[in-house]
A and B are shown apart, each in its own frame.
Chain A
Amino acid sequence: MTKPLNKGMLSRWLLSGEWRTHRVQLAAAIIAIALGVALGFAIHLINTAAFNEFSAAAKSLSGQSDLQVRGPQVTFDESLYPVLAQHRDVELANPVLELDVAIPGNSQERNNATLKILGLDIFHASVMTPDLIGIPAEEKLFDILADDAIFLSPAAMEWLGVKQGDPLQLRVGTQTITLRIAGGLTRARAGQRIGVMDIGAAQWRLQRVGQLSRIELKLLPGVDRAAFKTKLEQELELRGQYLVTEPANEETRVANMSRAYRVNLNMLAMVALFTGTFLVFSTQALSVVRRRHQFALLRVLGLTRRQLLGQVLFEGTALGAIGSLTGLALGYVTAATALHYFGGDLGGGFFTGIKPDVHFDLLAASVFFILGLGITLLGSAAPAWEAATANPAPALKSGSEDIALSKLATPWPGLICLVSGIVFTQLPPIFDLPIFGYLAIAQLLTGGIILMPRFAALVFSVASSTLSSRTSPAQVAAPALTTLALARLANAPNQAAIALGGVLASFTLIVAMAIMVSSFRVSVDDWLKHVLPADLYLRTGTGGDARGLTPAETKALEAIPGLARVDFLRSSQLALDPDRPSIALIARPIDMTDPGNTLPMTGEAISPPLLPEGTMPIWVSEAMVDLYGYTPGKRVTLPIATPAPSFVIAGVWRDYGRQFGAIQMQLADYQALTGDRLVNDAALWLQNGTTSEQVIASMRRLPFGDALDFSEPGQIRSLSLNIFDRSFAVTYLLEGVAVVIGLLGVAASFSAQALARTREFGMLRHIGMTRRQILGMLAVEGGLLTALGAVLGFVLGWCISLILVFIVNPQSFHWTMQLNLPWKGLLAVALILMASASMTAVASGRHAVSGNAVRAVREDW
């Protein structure tokens, strides 16, 4: 027999013996690792697939251009086109009109969605964006230039329930136009909902004559792009406000749209993995503790320290590898299933309308495998070290388990974690991401869990002594159980703490997330109440590109009887930075005596009378302050007219609707500056005695009445909150997984302890305790432990929720909120957790008390 074979055989004997007899703990640990890895990997795969597909779809719209020229607003005048087309360094200039056009009919049905329509010049687009060429019917090739034809991607046809040859109705302002679906597209991406028209037809039919969205440039070979870009920017400065962007800008812009969301989701997944770490640690630690005799014997028989350390780590590696591989497989299947059935959008609304395919990402798989394996080894390392360095002679005697664990419970690392966590909360975001916020959360969680044994010992010994001093000998059964349970918890706090790690981690996270979500939801609700003061709202189509109501139409609306007041609103898109998504510009009447009557101000504001004479005020959302540095009092220019008018920032308002930024200004100022007389929305206040139904009925009778969408504030509120809840559905799921992992931890550690305590139970049975009483004692232990975990988890979770509410959210999404504690829900979860923990403890202990009591006392293992 060769040497390694022997050692390997010993390792295998020990491993299989251990795993064969402790299947529950083994399964719990593997499930914990697998769930954590699976969740992280699945979310990564889904996000990556969705993001890549979204980027690819966005990229496919801009094709193979070297540079793009666009205006700050949705469209700009086409007079720039011949200038660029004839530019010395330009090989090809591809004019594009890209609009999101509303589909008439029940807008709720399609979730207020719009169809993206591209107006293209086939002669240039066939070079620049060959995928976006329409395929006409064989006998109607000329449809490609027809004035009434539109070509739809397969996803758009499916979505709209139409086919080639069908008419397609679109809402342009208050009018409905009808186009003919002339065919499909050469190669649209799966799920991509777009339509393509001839650019001349699009300008005409979509009422954008003379307007372009962008001009894509292909430069002559040998032209230096960066130098040309600089030169072109200078040349264009004389002509008006234009943005010259590179494909990289576009990529950044698309990435910026969903980055905060993706990072936050990944962080949540990491948290699940993190919770799993504590479970693995407790499983491994308890397994080592339980086998102290065994290891001591092996040491006596001649196993060296290194060999013993190796053995424990080998077991950890096997556990981690199996768990991680299972997790990867599970994660992949989950991602594939989720992508297949729900698409790439996990509720955030960032990736609607695409159909990404899951791609196995070897690098990510390796990272998650190493992560899963790493945390398992980390969880095994400390117990392994303790086992290897223990003196075998005393370890052969029983009763030394908690001493062993006490080495793992020095308070300093915990305190360092807590302090560094607090320091991290004070640090600014990195790359617009709350990296330190997340680190602070991790540190607080780790610190809290490390300090857990101290708390447990303190709390339970105080409780124990209080109870024993108060209990009179007359009281018997129940206090006896409690006394025993408390004594055990007080005197062996380390084992208790390990059992508690998972519970604490999961409950902390539940509390933190619940407080955050509840704070957010209550804030959104309050905000909605504030921003929806009118009795009835009216709008024309959706999306930033809708044409809206003409002055004649607004007059007709105002003339409807029963109206006390009508506020019209014009909203449009404004691109201020090529690397960032467009901001929203909203023009509406704003109460100059107190803008807070119109806008949900956050506090910082300059009272309009205090504004310098002759300046126009604008009010910006919180995101504008973070992303563009638009602080109150600052003077800024906005490219909404030529030359760009300047404004003073008069205040900051809260906006939960647009995380990329929004600006509000007086409608009168806007119309005077831009000459744009169209409006999109109206807020209607009714006279007393007039009902919404009456007003809607009279407005419907107007010639353009069919194009109007009416909603009452209540409907908008419930719809908004619905969307809100949907976007947090994944969060709830992640919380659920964290709870399951936490309970698995309770099950694993209690069953491990129960087995380790077989002799103790045997002795208790000898001295007259019934099985029921022993189980009762276990239930009390489990309940007490979970109660402590819940209390501590609540404190810790509350701290973390502060970080989420006041650091992570403002830094990620640029909105602030008020703190709100969902007491009832949290109490319910805590009780459920306690009950489940007690039941788990009892279920785990049942096996240990079922054995022969006499035998149990004699058994040493």
Chain B
Amino acid sequence: MVAYRAACGAEFNRFMLELRHIGKAYASGRQVLADLSYTLDAGEYVAIMGESGVGKSTLLNLIAGLDIPDTGEILINGTTMSSLSDDAATRLRRKEFGFIFQAFHILPHLTLSQNIALPLLLNDASTERAEQMLEAVGLRGRGSHFPRQLSGGELQRVAIARALVHSPKLILADEPTGNLDPDTAHDILMLMRREIKANGASGIIVTHSRAAAATADRVLVLTKQGLHPLVPADAADAAHAANAADSPQRG
């Protein structure tokens, strides 16, 4: 199984994230992460669950290069993140990463198309793909609308389109359905999974919700002791959900 994934990754996705003995304390001195190690394989979509304050968001910030671990190192394709300058980290981030937030963070003064095109502009790429993505997330023909005309679920669709428009290798999603009602949340999660897979990206989703976590390939639980796979019962649910999300549209 591992060998297969590695081969797949080698074939169309060389992206690899490796966490080595990560430790991080808050400014207040409280230790949140200690000696955390994990390797994310290419194309892998994992969910991270955990109690409030256990450091889920901190972990995402560290992976995104927005924060620097106190101990240990984060390697992306073999490069240590903390060795990069802010500019280099920024360039890596805008090329390889896509972000989805709980609060959507769609720029209010830009149209949907413009919002989605932002990463393309930042990467000096053609903005054509913005329209494709808009269509892919089911907002066809609404590119010239402004965010204030959209519901929360629609906003998050825009965020998903934006996160994937520049074909990043890793999607980081922090409670993407935290502000949505359960029905909408389900749609969004399915969309997210579908698009991540369709784009061949890896994904890390941090969530409280078991239902949400279940849409990932693997579910990990973050505790003070580190990252651990979820108990099998949950895994079965997750696998089921994942299959359900996968099968109807894509073969």
Contacts and interface: CB of A to CB of B under 8 A. Distances in A.
Interface of A: 1, 3, 6-7, 9-10, 13-14, 17-18, 20-21, 293-294, 297-306, 391-393, 396, 858, 860-861
Nearest to B119: A301
Contacts of B110: 13-14, 17
A302 B89 CA distance: 9
Contact of A302 (B107, B108, B123): B123
Nearest to A293: B105
Q: Which of A6, A294, A391 has the most chain B CB atoms inside 10 A of its CB?
A: A6
B10 interface: no
Given A302-B91, A304-B87, A17 B127 contact: no
A860 B105 CA distance: 7
Closest 8 A-B residue pairs measured CB to CB? A302-B94, A17-B109, A393-B66, A10-B121, A302-B122, A860-B103, A304-B90, A393-B61
B114 interface: yes
Contacts, number: 83
Contacts of B103: 860
Contacts of B37: none
A858 B64 contact: no
Contacts of B118: 10, 298, 301
Interface of B: 61, 64, 66-67, 86-87, 90-91, 93-95, 97, 99, 101, 103-105, 107-110, 114, 118-127, 152, 162, 179
B18 to A, nearest CB: 21
B118 to A, nearest CB: 6
A580 B204 CA distance: 83
Contacts of A306: 87
Given A301-B122, A302-B119, A393-B67, A21 B109 contact: yes
A297 B104 contact: no
19 contacts: A1-B125, A1-B127, A6-B120, A7-B121, A14-B109, A17-B114, A21-B108, A21-B109, A293-B105, A298-B122, A300-B99, A301-B162, A303-B90, A304-B87, A305-B86, A392-B66, A396-B101, A860-B104, A861-B108
Contacts of B109: 14, 17-18, 20-21
B95 A302 contact: yes
A300 B122 contact: no
A437 to B, nearest CB: 46
Contacts of A858: 152, 179
B29 to A, nearest CB: 17
Contacts of A301: 93-94, 99, 118-119, 122, 162
B117 to A, nearest CB: 9
Given A298-B118, A391-B67, A858-B152, 19 more contacts: A1-B124, A1-B125, A7-B124, A10-B121, A13-B110, A17-B107, A17-B108, A20-B109, A293-B105, A300-B66, A301-B118, A301-B119, A301-B122, A302-B94, A302-B123, A303-B94, A304-B87, A392-B66, A396-B101
B103 to A, nearest CB: 5
A14 B99 CA distance: 20
Contacts of B67: 391, 393
A9 B66 contact: no
Contacts of A302: 90-91, 93-95, 97, 119, 122-123
B104 to A, nearest CB: 7
A13 B114 contact: yes
Nearest to A21: B109
A299 B90 contact: yes
Nearest to B97: A302
Contacts of A20: 109
A6 B123 CA distance: 9
A1 B90 contact: no
B173 to A, nearest CB: 13
Nearest to B27: A394
A443 to B, nearest CB: 36
Contact of A6 (B90, B101, B121): B121
A10 B122 contact: yes
Contacts of A294: 107
A297 B107 CA distance: 9
A860 B99 CA distance: 17
A301 B64 CA distance: 10
Contact of B124 (A3, A21, A298, A300): A3
A393 B62 CA distance: 10
A560 B158 CA distance: 102
Given A10-B118, A860-B104, A391 B66 contact: yes
A4 to B, nearest CB: 9
Nearest to B101: A396
A857 to B, nearest CB: 11
Contacts of A391: 66-67
B245 to A, nearest CB: 26
A858 B150 CA distance: 13
Contacts of B101: 396
A59 to B, nearest CB: 59
Contacts of B104: 860
A303 B122 contact: yes
A306 to B, nearest CB: 7
A397 B99 CA distance: 15
Contacts of A300: 64, 66, 93, 99
A335 B120 CA distance: 50
Nearest to B103: A860
B94 to A, nearest CB: 2
B66 A1 contact: no
A300 B107 CA distance: 13
Contacts of A303: 90, 94, 122
A21 B78 CA distance: 44
Contacts of A10: 118, 121-122
